[in-house]
Structure 1
Amino acid sequence: MATIVKTPSGTWKAVIRKTGWPTSSKTFRTKRDAEDWSRRIEDEMVRGVFIQRSSSERMTLAMALNRYLAEVSPTKAPKTQQSEAGSAKVLAARLGKYSLAALTPDILASYRDSRLSERSQRGNLLSANTVRLELALLSHLFNVAIKEWRMGLPFNPVMNIRKPSPGEGRDRRLAAGEERRLMAAAANHSNPMLSWIIRLALETGMRSSEITGLRRCQIDLKRRVVRLADTKNDSARTVPLTKQATDTLRLALDNPVRPIDTDLVFFGEPGKDGLRRPYAFSKVWNELKKELGMSDLHFHDLRHEAVSRLVEGGLSDQEVSAISGHKSMQMLKRYTHLRAEDLVVKLDQFKKNS
């Protein structure tokens, strides 16, 4: 039976002591609220579903996000840490004052719909994938809070709302003549590393971070392979090199202006701390494609192009995923876009041989 007493400040405190359960107490503005809460908690104890909610009621989402960024995010890749910091800032600004216990599926669904109706700094509607990443962060935070922080939460509310559709993904392929123009312009740039990086992306399908982060010890020109340990999905893989990729890496390794203070294949100037980091080519890349009238071309599209060419070349899905690092066939298909005109030729060959 609950004990309900009036406090000196005029509020009402309910205390529940039941054998086999931890003592639970809570203070309310009215006696009726205290009685209602007591009946509900006692009923949950009888049914064996009671969860101690005090910790989740005291911790706000803003506090939880700060703890997550301090304890969980540092275990992830730097790029992921940066992305999560941005998502956390938005979540804290809009939902930070709610306690973890107060965040219901209805509140989160309203947040989702509100974000999807907002516009980015460019004036376009906010990307559905941006909202998906924010909800993914929030969902993982709840899972960590329940399993590791032992917060009194009955379930993860993010699991009970619909996630925005990821869309069809980009299908930008290089049109006829674009690769030639792109490589010619890059070759004319003062820094030869730009053209080497672009060529490697087209020949290997490696991500830009994987290319610029390459160190000499990862490259085996004799066996024509590159060993990647630090990848987006945290799975090491070995990438086979075409003859052109091998020749490109040979040029990069023999770069006559290579400084002796770094093992990076594609190196930048020393920072304020005196350390060299990978060559930051994004600004030059954006200027280059603007001059060529290819503003809609993303560097990551070169990875799409490379993967699509591997499939067109006759490699199996398993062989392509081993090279590209895609963990699932579904994700690989999102990155693979075959030209219909190329399939026409294959259809003719199939009909001829059948």
Structure 2
Amino acid sequence: MATIRKKPTGGWVAQVRHRAKNGLPAISKAAVFPRKADAEAWAAKTEADWQTMRFGGSPNILFAEVLERYKKEVSPKKRGWKNEINIIERVLKTPLAQVRLPNLSELHFQEWANGRMADIAQSSVRREWNVLSHVCSVASKQWRLLPENFMLRLDKPNHGKERTQRVTDDMATAIAYVAGFSLDCLPVKSTQRVAAAFYFGLETAMRGGEMVTLTWDNVFLDRRFVHLPDSKNGYARDVPLSLKAVAILKLLAQVRENERVFNITKGSLDALFRKLRERPDLGDVHFHDSRREALTRLAQIYSPMELAKISGHRDLRILLNTYYAPRAEDLAAKMDG
């Protein structure tokens, strides 16, 4: 609380003292002023600063400075740091970044989200939302720059419609043809290795990011599996290999240049695949569709628990609702035995 008292020698002493509570740190400050009005004004401002976490820092900084600090101190520690930094860079170009912390509220984040949803899919906005929300959480709980995470007051955008794109044999063949890939030809070009990765995904249900980081010391052809020491969800797993997957790896082994099995970066994988799919007969196929297609096919062989072990999913609902996409005619055929 704030107290104002007159000094016997003249002037006024303003003091603000609070114990730590509700996540707010303890505070004990005092100052002397010649006039009582000045002492009261200082006490009121100090109280307000404590309530909004502004004391002891830089209260009048831009949200952009918080984003820059997060980008420098927090993002590099994450597995998907490159994508996260790209998201932050985009936010830095928006009006949200130019709002000063004392003025920041949930309304600014809602305006940002509304603008993004006019440009990109809801699922993409949701991913960016999650990054921003964690920025605010760190700024509030760790750095004491915000009184709270304002985004928690808002409704997060919906996931939107999940993709149901299947990869037909004709699509896969077309991708291989455009890339110049086949099991009879050494994949010396990057585009050939991209197609090899796509086919490998159809056989193993591995993510693109897992393939580009796969190293030869984690490949066990004699036992027909690859080991992923660090997957997207932070857990290691072993992925069984079909005979075709083994054949692809043996082909890549013949053009081995370093420890990376596919010898290509995630950025190049994404960019080159976008070029490969420019053919009109490929429709809206994405590289990640190979994972969904593989899981749908593997679901006919394995139980849900076995499938989850292969895919790395720890939530069966996500596995079934997002990735398992059987055709109605296939399900109908099962009814007839």
TM-score range, shorter chain: 0.7 to 0.9
Deviation at 1:251, TM superposition (A): 2.2
Letter in 1 for 2:83: S
Letter in 1 for 2:203: E
Aligned partner (choices 162, 167, 172) of residue 160 of structure 2: 167
Do structure 1's residue 17 and structure 2's residue 16 form an aligned pair? yes
**Equivalent position of 1:274 in the other structure:** none
Q: Secondary structure at the match of 1:227?
A: strand
Deviation at 1:246, TM superposition (A): 1.6
Letter in 2 for 1:114: G
CA contact (8 A) 1:16 1:25 kept: yes
Do structure 1's residue 348 and structure 2's residue 324 form an aligned pair? no
Give me the identity figure in percent: 30
Deviation at 1:278, TM superposition (A): 7.7
Letter in 1 for 2:227: R
Please identify, of 68-77 and 33-42, the stretch whose mean Cα deviation from structure 2 is larger: 33-42
Letter in 1 for 2:160: G
Unaligned segments of structure 1, at least 5 residues: 5-12, 120-125, 269-276, 350-354
Q: How does 1:123-138 map to 2 (within 5 A)?
A: 126-138=120-132
CA contact (8 A) 1:212 1:279 kept: no
CA contact (8 A) 2:4 2:39 kept: no
**Equivalent position of 1:107 in the other structure:** 108
Change (3 A) 1:14 1:160: farther
Unaligned segments of structure 2, at least 5 residues: 6-11, 20-25
Q: Calculate the aligned-residue CA RMSD, in Å.
A: 3.4
Cα distance between partner residues in 2 of 1:114 and 1:199? 37
Letter in 1 for 2:164: D
Q: How does 1:246-325 map to 2 (within 5 A)?
A: 246-253=246-253, 255=254, 257-259=255-257, 262-267=258-263, 280-291=268-279, 293-311=281-299, 313-325=300-312
Q: Secondary structure at the match of 2:281?
A: coil
**Equivalent position of 2:235 in the other structure:** 235
Cα distance between partner residues in 2 of 1:292 and 1:179? 14
CA contact (8 A) 1:221 1:246 kept: yes
Letter in 2 for 1:346: K
TM-score with structure 2 length normalisation? 0.78
Q: Deviations over 1:168-220 (max 9, x none)?
A: 22110023633344445543687453443222110001112222322211100
Deviation at 1:133, TM superposition (A): 2.5
Change (3 A) 1:135 1:283: closer
Cα distance between partner residues in 2 of 1:300 and 1:335? 10
Deviation at 1:148, TM superposition (A): 2.2
Please identify, of 220-229 and 127-136, the stretch whose mean Cα deviation from structure 2 is larger: 127-136
Deviation at 1:32, TM superposition (A): 9.1
